[in-house]
Structure 1
């Protein structure tokens, strides 16, 4: 079953010989970075091996949320929401953004208390975040049949449409002066005198002073060929969409399912509590570094041995600039959804919301999420290779925070005052002895 249909993007055709910065990857992070840089007068080339937003950036839930994030991400998410609120005007195109609120239901007193403690992280920022129950909860989730203690409700949260937002931002970047090329893989870095001097693409060499690696699930492979240690694994999430249905405007997370109203009138539905982990050689290479995250998220992970083991075991890990790379052999990661997850999340959603019983599943798909050992992204220069910057590992939180991440990455590339303190996102935290673990905020 193919992934969701993304609005077509028509590539530029002429590869520039020189630019100030090259962005590798046309997902939400890459296009947001390219837009920020181009608007500031930086000459930019964005290279995408497949199509704009062809992978996880069009396959996610479409949530734009600050609630229940790792506290380290909150300041950057505030900046992202500010950007989303102006994105349609800024790009001159529809992104589907709307502020609708998100509800995280709490089935027990214990979970209710955990969510209530999390709300305190937003108090210093004067953001409305509260626990709701009884009639207040029923008004936000009309017709629901869940037996829950209550829910964490953040009115500031919202949604956007993954199948059009990334393309809208890419088009705006081009309108601001960026060159945006699809079906153009970057094979390797051009390193001279110990620093980045350009890139080698499948269509030729480009000189530049800065490179931003925003390759999503491919970032570790590219970084490894450049001699950079980037601890990152992939997690598969299964999603579906429905026919038009009348239900709550606020997005809802619950045990067994999560749902979001779509701009087309249907709903995006997924499991709120289950992700699939394919065992691959990197699973064992990185096992010790990911152990704290595995302990913290064990109940939500389902491990399996699939054809991904053979695919990644046979995948080249080193190559020359004149060789065909894995990025050219697989233009778009299009994994199959897990049928059991489709069935279970759909059944749970329909049991909770009877209005869905008249709806039908139009399509199901899956995407591969790029995950770091602490589930916090890397948005950072690479100390060992001047000129190289990395923006990856968003761990399933990247779509909503993307415009904020692009702004911070542009600050770091240009050497201007960063919009937020970038210390928590530094790549060196994985090698400088820092404690690495997810932070639920409870």
Structure 2
């Protein structure tokens, strides 16, 4: 492991999760020399290692559908492209709908997805139960089924991207914390780390939940807040197929899927305050999850909790990612605020930042991902993608 940093770099990528390593790989593959990625801990140590691993194109907005499709495509060939097995499985996404508004939204969204080649469809509660046998159909009106959506192992993806980036000449330096970024007027002059200073005119902020701190070093406001999200793993649940789809009770955000010999279960507690709390604490979280599971998947209550973890979502006010070139500081590129979708959007995010760095027009519509959209909004949440 390098214990020093190079004197200079064409670009410094800050953050060693899936977004940062994808960016480093895509820049290096495009021929950008002297790409340096710095990570304050181990690679994938932050939000990436705590992700559930879902990869989907079942979004309501065409721009996000495109990013999700690219993630599915890239991960389907990742093992051969990067010599790294990632346990990619197309087990599908299943959304459970128990109110008419949700049914209407998903009916419209599946039509959008179908237009872009996603084979999602509306199905009956009984059909949903056949796909995911733990589902209790009481109160369900319908479900949305997206069979081509998938799961993969986030840490393995990071290792694959990092290995490929190194083969192409990028330097990846772990245990290297960014302490300050030197700015001269609108220009970047260097990045000072715990291992020394790197002269550079270009920085990519891919620091996830810590992105606002990087922005503060440059006087650029990046409106990203960390919010704790927890995942638990259960004992085996008899009669559960190994390839149970990722099943989401849409009104509550409770979800589960097969993982190892048991089940992965999660729930986004709406009362969770923003902050860097990473303590895994069952308590009220498990009580809330249990109340939902008792209605939607009661058999899960018979399985004990084996382990779990807490991670951080990097949340923007409108729950939509920022992928942009700064208008305030020359040489600053930003890829953050994915609000729980960073893993699946990693491949496309790397391509977009590569193109922005090289002065190309990305092949994706990124007009909704600009940092400037928050400039005059006082961070008031906008009308956002519902899924």
**TM-score, with structure 2 as normaliser:** 0.89
1:25 maps to 2:15: yes
Of 245, 248, 253, 2:248 maps to: 253
Structure 2 counterpart SS, 1:277: coil
1:341 maps to 2:285: yes
Structure 2 counterpart SS, 1:270: strand
With over 3 angstroms needed to count, the CA separation of the structure-2 counterparts of 1:12 and 1:358, relative to structure 1, is farther
1:16 maps to 2:6: yes
1:118 maps to 2:118: no
Deviations 1:71-94 (CA, angstroms, capped at 9, x unpaired) = 442222222222121222222112
- The corresponding residue for 1:204 is 196
Contact conserved, 1:337 with 1:364, CA < 8 A, in 2? no
What is the rounded CA distance, in whole Å, between the counterparts of 1:49 and 1:437 in structure 2? 33
Q: In the TM superposition, what is the alpha-carbon distance from 1:356 to its structure 2 partner?
A: 3.9
- The corresponding residue for 2:127 is 136
Contact conserved, 1:101 with 1:154, CA < 8 A, in 2? yes
- The corresponding residue for 1:75 is 66
With over 3 angstroms needed to count, the CA separation of the structure-2 counterparts of 1:226 and 1:352, relative to structure 1, is same
With over 3 angstroms needed to count, the CA separation of the structure-2 counterparts of 1:213 and 1:397, relative to structure 1, is same
With over 3 angstroms needed to count, the CA separation of the structure-2 counterparts of 1:343 and 1:436, relative to structure 1, is closer
Contact conserved, 1:70 with 1:376, CA < 8 A, in 2? no
Contact conserved, 2:129 with 2:137, CA < 8 A, in 1? no
- The corresponding residue for 2:144 is 152
Contact conserved, 2:28 with 2:169, CA < 8 A, in 1? yes
Deviations 1:29-73 (CA, angstroms, capped at 9, x unpaired) = 111111111222223111011111112111122111222454442
1:216 maps to 2:208: yes
1:40 maps to 2:37: no
Contact conserved, 2:126 with 2:137, CA < 8 A, in 1? no
- Greater alpha carbon shift after TM alignment, 246-255 vs 346-355: 346-355
Alignment root-mean-square deviation, CA: 2.5
How many residues align? The count is 379
- The corresponding residue for 2:346 is 402
Structure 2 alignment gaps of length 5 or more: none
Structure 1 counterpart SS, 2:372: helix
What is the rounded CA distance, in whole Å, between the counterparts of 1:278 and 1:348 in structure 2? 20
What is the rounded CA distance, in whole Å, between the counterparts of 2:294 and 2:265 in structure 1? 10
What is the rounded CA distance, in whole Å, between the counterparts of 2:147 and 2:74 in structure 1? 17
What is the rounded CA distance, in whole Å, between the counterparts of 1:226 and 1:403 in structure 2? 27
Contact conserved, 2:57 with 2:67, CA < 8 A, in 1? no
Structure 1 counterpart SS, 2:323: strand
What is the rounded CA distance, in whole Å, between the counterparts of 2:31 and 2:361 in structure 1? 17
What is the rounded CA distance, in whole Å, between the counterparts of 2:22 and 2:320 in structure 1? 18
Q: In the TM superposition, what is the alpha-carbon distance from 1:361 to its structure 2 partner?
A: 1.6
Contact conserved, 1:342 with 1:364, CA < 8 A, in 2? no
With over 3 angstroms needed to count, the CA separation of the structure-2 counterparts of 1:415 and 1:99, relative to structure 1, is same
Deviations 1:338-361 (CA, angstroms, capped at 9, x unpaired) = 522124325644764466466432
With over 3 angstroms needed to count, the CA separation of the structure-2 counterparts of 1:438 and 1:182, relative to structure 1, is farther
Contact conserved, 1:232 with 1:372, CA < 8 A, in 2? yes
Contact conserved, 2:321 with 2:335, CA < 8 A, in 1? yes
What is the rounded CA distance, in whole Å, between the counterparts of 1:244 and 1:176 in structure 2? 43
